[in-house]
Chain A
Amino acid sequence: MKSLDELKKIKEETLASMRIREEEPTVRVAVGMSTCGIAAGARDTLNALMEEINKRNLSGVTVITTGCAGMCQREPLVDITEKDGSTYSYQNITPEKAKVLVSQHLVNKKPVFEWVLATRGLCREGAAERSGD
């Protein structure tokens, strides 16, 4: 160990993988993984999300699994909740769509309104039109 910068580098590298243990607000991605979700292929969706997030090294994103939201015919459902609490619910998210969501919504910060089922909270314009679909 020769400098504080060297120490800082190790810190930041490791922190990326430890971030979910710190109770700080992050962007949260919830995948519906109840029986209906799994039957509709949510497992593959989840795997695709994790793969893509790792590929892009998005350490500020938390991925969780969640239960049935009641709209079983629209599964796999993926909810993305931003730091301000606004939520975008996406429907019929196949593994291919999941990868697009990561690049468009999580990286480029552009929600894919075409797949939005509903929104909650202060969502960006365009989302409201489709809310309650």
Chain B
Amino acid sequence: MKIQRAHLLLCHGTACSSSASENIKDALEKELEHYGIADQIRVIPTGCFGFCAMGPVMMVYPEGIMYCKVKPEDAAEIVEEHLVKGRTVQRLLYKEPGEETRLADIDDIEFFRYQRREVLHNCGHINPEDIREYIARDGYLALGKVLTGLQPREVIDIVIESGLRGRGGGGFPTGRKWEYAAQTDAAEKYIICNGDEGDPGAFMDRSIMEGDPHAVLEGMAIAGFAVGASQGYIYVRAEYPIAVERLDIAIKQARELGLLGKNIFNSGFHFDVQLRLGAGAFVCGEETAMLNSIAGKRGEPRPRPPFPAVKGLFFKPTIINNVETLANLPRIILNGAQWFNGIGTEKSRGTKVFALAGKVNNTGLIEVPMGTSLRTIIYDIGGGIPKGRKFKAAQIGGPSGGCIPEQHLDTPMDYDSLLELGAMMGSGGLIVMDESDCMVDIAKFFLEFTQDESCGKCTPCRVGTKRMHEVLVRITIGEGKEEDIGLLRSMAEDIKDASLCGLGQTAPNPVLSTLRFFEDEYMAHIRDKRCPAGVCARLLRYEIIPEKCTACSVCARVCPVDAITGIPKKPPYEIHQDICIKCGACQAKCPFGAIAKV
């Protein structure tokens, strides 16, 4: 293999790909060709670096310099200045918000400083479409060690001892789950990788599948050996085309090298993996619904027990593990249970990947040790709240989770602390909200999502979420009654108790959680017919402040429904509330700040 003098690692995750990283690659290669140095320098597409807010991101080795927000037009300058003349292109370096100095070394950047990238250690460092690069970073060595030196029981014991818990939401101990399946006697068993990541704002699993697909395959093979399965399925959303493509390539390459297939490492162990594409139904992330979907049936859940570990796919014992859980396994086998035990908190070991989204400066993909405080995540890594606004709450666990308000910012992020707060780890979607977000509106949004995604099989979920959503709509348009609070609470409890699967059982959580911490905001909507955050349009009024109005007539001209009248140069103008649609155009355009939202 050829030795080059520089490697340009260019992020080809979904976020950077949508900002044309493929075009940047072409432009760079064209320039390298132009200078006749194409054989000395390689442009390598990689998975997600995590710093999506600054994307497309590119790392230049051997110097280890990071360039941000690279455009195809920058290719000529990068090649001529950096790669020919050896001068860093200063203007493309990262600058901390509010600071002047530009930083070249990623270790100096706050976003990376507090992170510990274990599961993501290959993301952004290797070409995910080249199995050899994965192997060069000790890939498939864990599988090799397991198959050539360990008994299945020993593998299960290592995983139990490591304390690894499921990263998909519930946090069930992975090793215990395997134990059930291993103890069940059956001719065939299955391993399923749950890549049906459906929470709004979550993209951890997508990034792992895109950036390090072989880690998932290796984890599945290790799980297969431990429980005695020889067939695996990856259930991945069709909406993740890049992940699907890279997994497909990874499976083909692993088969070519005999890392999937018959008699791997000459151990007599056979294992193969197939992809199953989901059509995007949220409920198919629930394990029993997923089993039906993989078997070609309608994606509806069924009661448990029997649990899939005993009776799963095609009625055979089946282990369903999340993408991130599986990607942890090779590292645990290689470094040992003790190593994993040393990271995180007593009951939540290891690291956790979070997708940081919403009202935060550095949106992106981060990985921190379990137990890191929300404050560190939002302020140190996330760089705080944009526009100088105030933090209000963070929604964790998507539509199944809850919110964490300001007074609990120092809560350690681990499974149990979050449950105590009425939230849950979920898969790791973390949406930050500021003072301009209305908590009733947020609850309504998530309930709209779950009632839309309810499969309809059981009544509490099908009808209950619909009725709860109606109550929330009523509150946000100023027609709520004081009894609605009690009604929401009692319906929420009933739906949680009586629903068939996890979707219904957790659907009321956003309502319960916002009620717990922001009941006063609900009451403001109900009693005062007022939305404190100024989000619920029906409860808002735009008014002209007579002292500030100069009768310049700008507002009347921008109003799309002609709700503002007045005589030029004779202040004040007037907004007719019966016509006003509360679009806010007048306030945005008024040069004198004479229009107030009340």
Residues of A at the B interface (CB closer than 8 Å) are: 1-4, 7, 10-11, 13-18, 20-21, 23, 26, 28, 30-31, 33-34, 38, 43, 46-47, 50, 53-54, 57-59, 61-67
Contacts and interface: CB of A to CB of B under 8 A. Distances in A.
Given A65-B86, A67-B85, A3 B3 contact: no
Contacts of A3: 148, 265-266
Contacts of A57: 3
A16 B1 CA distance: 8
B479 interface: no
Contacts of B176: none
Contacts, number: 105
Contacts of B135: 7, 10-11, 14
B1 A17 contact: yes
Contacts of B7: 18, 20-21
Nearest to B140: A7
B140 A34 contact: no
A26 B63 CA distance: 12
Given A3-B148, A28-B62, A46-B5, 13 more contacts: A1-B144, A11-B135, A17-B4, A18-B133, A20-B61, A21-B62, A50-B5, A53-B3, A54-B2, A57-B3, A64-B5, A64-B6, A64-B62
A2 B266 contact: yes
B1 A13 contact: yes
Interface stretch (B256-264, B441-449, B454-462): B256-264
B86 A30 contact: yes
Nearest to A55: B3
Interface string B1-30: 111111101000000000000000000000
Nearest to A19: B3
A65 to B, nearest CB: 3
Contacts of A43: 36
Contact of B136 (A11, A62, A64): A11
A1 to B, nearest CB: 4
21 contacts: A1-B144, A3-B148, A4-B141, A4-B148, A16-B3, A18-B7, A18-B126, A18-B136, A20-B4, A20-B6, A28-B62, A33-B85, A33-B86, A47-B36, A50-B5, A53-B3, A54-B3, A59-B3, A64-B62, A65-B86, A67-B86
A21 B265 contact: no
A11 to B, nearest CB: 5
B64 interface: yes
B527 interface: no
B6 to A, nearest CB: 7
Contact of B64 (A23, A38, A47): A23
In the complex, which range does the number of interface residues on chain B fall in? Answer: 35 or more
B140 A1 contact: yes
Max chain B CB contacts within 10 Å: which of A2, A7, A63, A67?
A7
B1 A14 contact: yes
A131 to B, nearest CB: 24
B84 interface: yes
Contacts of B9: 21
A42 B257 CA distance: 42
B62 A20 contact: yes
Contacts of B141: 4, 7, 11
B136 A4 contact: no
B3 A65 contact: no
A1 B40 CA distance: 31
Contacts of A64: 5-6, 62-63, 86
A26 B141 CA distance: 26
Given A7-B135, A7-B141, A1 B3 contact: no
Contacts of A15: 136
Contacts of B266: 2-3
A65 B259 contact: no
A46 B4 CA distance: 12
B177 interface: no
Given A2-B266, A65-B84, A7 B144 contact: yes
A78 B87 CA distance: 16
A13 to B, nearest CB: 6
Nearest to B130: A14
B132 A10 contact: yes
Interface string B109-148: 0000000000000000110000011011010110011001
A62 B62 contact: yes
Q: List 8 A-B pairs, minimum CB-CB distance, nearest first.
A: A65-B86, A63-B5, A14-B136, A1-B258, A66-B86, A17-B1, A14-B132, A20-B62
Contacts of A53: 3
B83 interface: yes
B5 A20 contact: yes
A39 B133 CA distance: 38
Contacts of A58: 3
B231 to A, nearest CB: 19
Contacts of B259: 1
A17 B63 CA distance: 16
A7 B137 CA distance: 11
A129 B40 CA distance: 35
Nearest to A34: B85
